[in-house]
């Protein structure tokens, strides 16, 4: 990994909003210029991180697993007792309208539902109506070099939120837990960190799900932590599990430890923005057997290709 890549991740952008000039944002039922798309300073999403969101990809103008993402958004909203002012179909239409209005072919959508403006107290029921907005933009989370040669990661000292404190299955606006681990990663010269739960088992990375490859019963097998480990049920994660199963690769959901990371034959991450990306070094330890130590392994490469082939042949929208 080049030092300039990490430096750019930790440095400041001269004008971070320049990339959104001329864009349209769907805000509470209408498209508005990005520079006029504003949220109240009294919004509880700003004051307390009270809200939920989805990150969604689109390719060739088609939105990947849109209905699945929206179902997860509504589930997150129900979990925090937020009643969204739109139906799932209305938000589906609004999302497609936003992509079309911005004239983008491939990109990323951020759909956000905040609690809305209210009193300065914590009481969410003092907020008359949620604020909902949709952003469509371009994105490149990682340079191509990392897909070719793999990411270096570290194990974070910050534990993933305890499920009884804040369920990681709620995709909430409060990402401070993840951000602290992300800062720790950048301070260590890498771009991602593996987070553990209160039992010491692997949970997920700061923004991605984790997969390990190692043999079981003489066959290469995919292992990924169960949802009970404090894992967000990733849409891309489930897509990759489906692709692996179609290819005859066994998938096992069970607890993984730091030792399992260090001794895995392969590791890769999945996420909406990252897609499928190899990990080739954990805490300075090259991953894999001598045949591909420190390089992406064959199962990882196969699943990267399968994912990209799926996108090229027809983006599943449901």
Q: What is the DSSP letter of 1?
A: -
Specify which residues 55 forms β-bridges with.
110
Instruction: Return the closest-CA partner of residue 58 out of 144, 134, 149, 113.
Output: 134
Q: What is the DSSP letter of 108?
A: E
CB 294 within 8 A of CB 148: no
Which of the following is catalytic: 65, 96, 171, 182? 171
Q: Who's near 274: CB < 8 A, 6+ residues apart?
A: 141, 142, 207, 208, 236
Q: What are phi and psi of 9, to 5 degrees?
A: -70, -30
Determine the 3-state secondary structure of 116 from DSSP. Answer: coil
Determine the 3-state secondary structure of 172 from DSSP. Answer: strand
Q: What are phi and psi of 305, to 5 degrees?
A: -65, -45
Instruction: Return the closest-CA partner of residue 192 out of 231, 237, 226, 146.
Output: 146
Instruction: Return the closest-CA partner of residue 146 out of 1, 288, 268, 261.
Output: 1
How many other CB atoms are found less than 10 A from the CB of residue 66?
26
CB 270 within 8 A of CB 208: yes
65 a catalytic residue:
no
CB 50 within 8 A of CB 173: yes
What's the alpha-carbon Rg for the chain, to the nearest Å? Answer: 20
Active site residues: 171
């Amino acid at each position: 990994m080049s030092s300039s890549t990490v430096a750019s991740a930790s440095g400041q952008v001269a004008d971070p909003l320049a990339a959104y000039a001329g864009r349209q944002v769907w805000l509470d039922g209408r498209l508005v210029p990005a520079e006029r798309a504003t949220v109240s300073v009294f919004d509880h999403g700003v004051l307390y991180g009270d809200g939920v969101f989805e990150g969604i990809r689109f390719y060739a103008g088609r939105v990947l697993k849109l209905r699945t993402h929206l179902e997860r958004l509504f589930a997150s909203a129900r979990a925090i007792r937020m009643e969204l002012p739109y139906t799932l179909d209305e938000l589906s239409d609004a999302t497609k309208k936003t992509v079309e209005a911005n004239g983008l072919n491939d990109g990323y959508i951020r759909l956000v539902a905040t609690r809305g403006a209210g009193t300065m107290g914590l009481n969410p029921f003092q907020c008359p109506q949620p604020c909902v907005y949709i952003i469509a933009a371009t994105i490149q989370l990682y340079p191509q070099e990392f897909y070719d040669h793999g990411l270096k990661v570290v194990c974070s000292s910050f534990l993933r939120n305890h499920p009884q404190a804040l369920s990681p299955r709620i995709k909430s606006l409060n990402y401070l837990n993840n951000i602290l681990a992300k800062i720790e990663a950048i301070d260590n010269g890498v771009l991602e960190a593996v987070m553990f739960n209160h039992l010491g088992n692997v949970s997920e990375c700061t923004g991605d799900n984790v997969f390990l490859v190692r043999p079981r019963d003489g066959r290469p097998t995919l292992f990924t932590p169960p949802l009970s480990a404090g894992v967000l049920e990733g849409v891309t994660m489930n897509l990759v599990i489906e692709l692996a199963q179609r290819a005859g690769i066994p998938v096992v959901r069970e607890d993984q430890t730091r030792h399992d990371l260090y001794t895995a034959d392969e590791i890769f991450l999945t996420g909406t923005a990252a897609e499928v990306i190899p990990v080739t070094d954990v805490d300075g330890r090259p991953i894999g057997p001598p045949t591909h130590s420190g390089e992406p392994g064959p199962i990882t490469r196969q699943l990267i290709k399968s994912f990209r082939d799926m996108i090229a042949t027809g983006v599943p929208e449901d």
